[in-house]
Chains A and B, each alone.
Chain A
Amino acid sequence: MNALLEAVELSYWQASVLRVLGVLAAVILPAGGFVYVFLFKMMSFMQSRLGPMEAGPYGSAQLLAEVGKFLQKEDIVPARADRRLFFLAPYIVLASTFLLLVVMPFGPDAYFANLDTGIFLALGLSSVSVIGVLIAGWASANKYSLIGGLRAAGQLIAYELPLVLAVVGVVIQAGTLNLQGIVAAQHQGEIFGFGGIGNPFLITQLVGFVIFLIATQAELTQPPFDMPVAESEIVTGYITEYSGLRFLLFFIGEFATAGAFAAIAATLFLGGWAVPFVDLDDDIMNVAGPLVLFAKMMLVGFLIFWVRFTFPRFREDQLQAFAWKFLIPISLVNIMATMVFKVAF
């Protein structure tokens, strides 16, 4: 986006407004798309019902109705809550999601920031949301919230490791931390000499992809890893006391983060915004790239939400054991194997 903005020579404030609108679109559109397509429609069809059908054609305006509903709701703050922290928490969670998308490339020139440490920064920023969740759990002055917040902290830290280790394999294979570089590496790569479709790391890093998806599921606190918000045990965990706009922020945060992680997975493993047989520098990709990326995000999102609506949840200790005793050793083996192949070929 920077390069695009320079090309049309806008003043600073105009460029800033465009950037803000761009980030908003990058966060809100996938989040809204995920909620409508997966939460409203796919879940309903899986559960042999229709989902929202009345608001707009095929229920497509239901999202607006939901947002309107939440905006009207009374904003209740518990009497014993730590008011300032209570207000702050949802913004921290949402901010980490916004920052995640800053480093995402959407096309050859369509990006907000092209950093050489892109994926490193993205994974670092994704863990900032833990702080928001912990604050929400503590500031609510509610035992369910506190248990939920602590569970979330333990879980997010445990699953941060397999997430990072799964990415390391990709980074070794691409030879760069830059997300544009990773896209280019996949587009121009070869699988054992066959370069017809490039080398989407999905194929050579399949183990990494699966581990990444599992860890993403845990980072998003979705079933089977939804212990922090387990509604049949601790009501809704750290969100229990939130209502109205602040609940909406958490809700948007949840699905926008799902979108952001799907975008990262699509970029790392499915070739990002690039498509085979189309040149990387082709200007058309500045327009088509975001759409291609969005289509790939929906594919990843489908996997994430399919699991979400199917499985029961782990217990807290089983969940920790799964991360430390199963995922981390496997991802370490994956890194070793990747290094051996990298050196050998």
Chain B
Amino acid sequence: MTLTEAQQLGYINAQAADGRINVELETDDGMVLNMGPQHPATHGTLRLVARLDGEQVTSADVMCGYMHRGYEKLCEVRSYPQVTTLVNRIDWLGSFANEVPFILAAEQLMEVEAPPRAMWIRTILFELSRIANVSLFIGDLALQLGAQTPAFYAFRDREFVLNQIESVTGGRFHPNFDRIGGLKDDLPKGWIAETKAAMVRLRAFCDEMEGLVYGNEIFQTRTRGVGIIPAKVAQSYGLSGANLRGSGVDWDLRRDANVGLAYDQLDWKVWTHPDGDSYSRCWVRLQEVREATKIVDQLCDGLPGGGIMAKVPRIIKVPEGEAYVATENPLGAMGYYVVSKGDTGPFRVKIRSASFNNISVASWLLRGVYVPDIITILASLYFILGDIDR
């Protein structure tokens, strides 16, 4: 059926009306406040439509999709080594971590295993991305709550981690370093010592933030008891990462379902907090940064020797089959479901990203809170727009 021009225009108008901001200051059921897609607090293009009664939110809808880039479809027309370039733009703050589960899934299908040295370096870079990502979150959290200075401290100290990532991979934000069967290169000379110095620096940063932000009484009154997610609700909405552990659920893929990374050979701890409010989520993240610096220290100490690349053919063809691999990324559980038909590229890739599930609990959470709490709750849920929309 072909549409007439009038029908097409009508369709476009209907779509536009849906996205149009309600300009009435007062309607029958209170005021409708549209936040985003361009709004300082949504750091990206998330749109939030909140119905207000005074300063109180009666209901709020989260609308995403303004930054959809079609990565799942694009993956189908790329060869396997090319996909990493795409996917490390999903969660752009912890980009190396995005490559790992995809490569692991492809390795599983090809029945290749990376040599131990490559596995350990992967784990180091994986944890460094977590530190780079979450340390910026801590600064951003303070910025959302009105304190400007911690954000600059976060940017300053994240730089040490980015420098380390850059000196291995050549890329600060989009390393594109992981290969099927191993890594592109070995570590440069003197890197281990530099990284350990950076980890000392990052631990000092964590201490500083614990005093400056987390210990601040205003911060505590703003976050404690705000946006409580009970453990049951957190599980039913499929939350993962610190959002789930902040609700007291002791679940971490690094420990519980470790695939292809070196976590089972290390001594580390999964942090949880029983309260389930905004403070506990932020607190768990801070502890995880600190724990990650210790993990990196251990990995640097025990780094095995040997090659960094397993034997793989020059032109990679993945045998027919399906694989799902999920890892505990900085934002939560991230998984790739890869279907192969024996070609040079995947037949179908489904990406399970953490933020999409994490943000889905927002409309449940935002009923009855005050307008400033919207910001606290969104900041504490910690999403990256690229991770929601892909």
A48–B152 contact, CB under 8 A? yes
Give min CB distance, A232 to chain B, whole Å. Answer: 4
- B284 CB to closest chain A CB (Å) equals 19
Check B40–A231 contact: CB distance below 8 A: yes
A312/B33 contact (C-beta < 8 A), A233-B41, A233-B372 known: no
Our count of residue pairs bridging A and B at CB distance below 8 angstroms stands at 86
| Given known A146-B25, A233-B372, A318-B221, contact A49–B146 (CB-CB < 8 A) | no
> Which chain B residue has the least Cβ–Cβ distance from A317?
B370
Is there an interface contact between A312 and B145, defined as CB atoms closer than 8 Å? yes
Query: Does residue B222 face the partner (Cβ distance < 8 Å to A)?
Result: yes
- Asked whether, in the complex, the Cβ of B372 is within 8 Å of the Cβ of A312, the reply is no
**Residue among A49, A233, A310 making CB contact with B374, cutoff 8 Å:** A233
Shortest beta-carbon distance from A42 to chain B in Å? 11
Closest CB in chain B relative to A138 CB, distance in Å: 10
**Chain A residues whose C-beta falls within 8 Å of the C-beta of B111 in the assembled complex:** none
B43 to chain A, nearest CB (A): 9
Q: Given contacts A224-B146, A230-B146, A311-B147, is CB(A316)–CB(B372) below 8 Å?
A: yes
Q: A216-236: contact bitstring with B at CB < 8 Å (1 yes, 0 no)? A: 000000011011001111110
Within 8 A of B (CB), among A229-252: 230-235
Cross-interface CB contact of B372 among A141, A143, A230, A235, cutoff 8 Å: A230
Interface pair B218/A312, CB less than 8 Å apart:
yes
**Chain A positions 270-318 with a Cβ under 8 Å from a chain B Cβ:** 309-318
Whether B372 pairs with A311 at a CB distance below 8 angstroms is no
Contact A234 B152 (CB under 8 A): no
Decide yes or no whether B13 CB sits under 8 A from chain A. Answer: no
Contact check, A232 vs B221: say whether CB atoms are below 8 A apart.
no
Instruction: Give the chain B neighbours of A232 by CB distance below 8 A.
Output: 40-41, 143-146, 375
Which residues does chain A contribute within 8 Å of B55, judged by CB atoms? 147, 316
> How close is B139's CB to chain A, nearest CB, in angstroms?
11
Bound CA span A309–B371, Å:
23
- Any B CB within 8 A of the CB of A47: yes
Chain A: CB-nearest residue to B38: A235
Out of B23, B153, B156, B370, name the residue touching A315 (CB < 8 Å). B370
CA of A315 to CA of B372 in the docked complex: distance in angstroms?
6
Which residues in B have their C-beta under 8 angstroms from that of A235? Answer: 39-40
CB contacts under 8 Å to B, within A136-172, are 141, 143, 146-147
Indicate if A46 sits at the interface (CB-CB under 8 A).
yes
User: Is there a chain B Cβ closer than 8 Å to A80's Cβ?
Assistant: yes
Interface residues on B, range: 20 to 34
Flag if B145 contacts A47 (CB, 8 Å).
no
Q: Per DSSP, are chain B's interface residues mostly helix, strand or loop, or mixed?
A: helix
Contact A227:B219 (CB < 8 A) given known A46-B149, A232-B146, A235-B40? no
Category for how many chain A residues contact B: 20 to 34
CB nearest to B143 among chain A residues = A232
Residues of A within 8 A of B33 (CB): 143, 147
B109 at the interface (CB under 8 A from A): no
Please give, as numbers and ranges, the residues of chain A lying within 8 Å of B221 by CB-CB distance: 314-315, 318
B371 cross-chain contacts in A, Cβ below 8 A: 147, 233-234, 316
Q: How far is the CA of A22 from the CA of B360 in the complex (A)?
A: 59
- In angstroms, Cα B25 to Cα A310, docked, is 35
A217 and B371 CA atoms in complex are apart in Å by: 22
Given contacts A223-B146, A227-B372, A232-B40, contact A311 B216 (CB under 8 A): yes
Among A80, A223, A233, A310, which residue has the most Cβ atoms of chain B within 10 A? A233
Least Cβ–Cβ distance between A213 and chain B, in angstroms: 16
Least CB distance, B48 to chain A, in whole angstroms: 11
For chain A, residues 188 to 231, give those with C-beta under 8 angstroms from any C-beta of chain B.
223-224, 226-227, 230-231
- Contacts known (A233-B372, A316-B372); A311 close to B39, Cβ less than 8 A: no
Question: What's the Cα separation between A35 and B33 when bound, in Å?
Answer: 33
The reply to whether B218 and A314 form a contact with Cβ atoms under 8 Å apart is yes
The residue of chain A having its C-beta at the shortest distance from the C-beta of B374 within the complex is: A233
Which residues of B are found within 8 Å of A312, using beta-carbon distances? 142, 145-147, 213, 216, 218-219, 222
**Across the interface, which residues of A come within 8 angstroms of B153, CB to CB?**
47-48
How far apart are the CA atoms of A302 and B33 in the complex, in Å?
Answer: 37
Chain B residues 218 to 251 lying within 8 A of chain A, measured CB to CB, are 218-219, 221-222
Q: In the bound complex, do residue B148 and residue A309 qualify as a contact, i.e. CB atoms below 8 Å apart?
A: yes
Closest 7 A-B residue pairs measured CB to CB? A313-B146, A47-B152, A312-B145, A312-B147, A232-B41, A312-B146, A315-B372
Q: What are 16 contact pairs spanning A and B, CB under 8 A? A: A43-B148, A43-B149, A223-B146, A223-B148, A232-B40, A233-B371, A234-B371, A312-B145, A312-B146, A313-B145, A313-B218, A314-B222, A315-B372, A316-B55, A316-B372, A317-B370
Interface residues of A (CB under 8 A from B): 43, 46-49, 80, 141, 143, 146-147, 223-224, 226-227, 230-235, 309-318
Given A224-B146, A313-B147, 16 new contacts (CB under 8 A): A43-B149, A80-B23, A143-B31, A147-B55, A223-B147, A232-B144, A233-B371, A309-B148, A310-B147, A311-B146, A311-B147, A312-B142, A313-B218, A314-B221, A315-B373, A316-B371
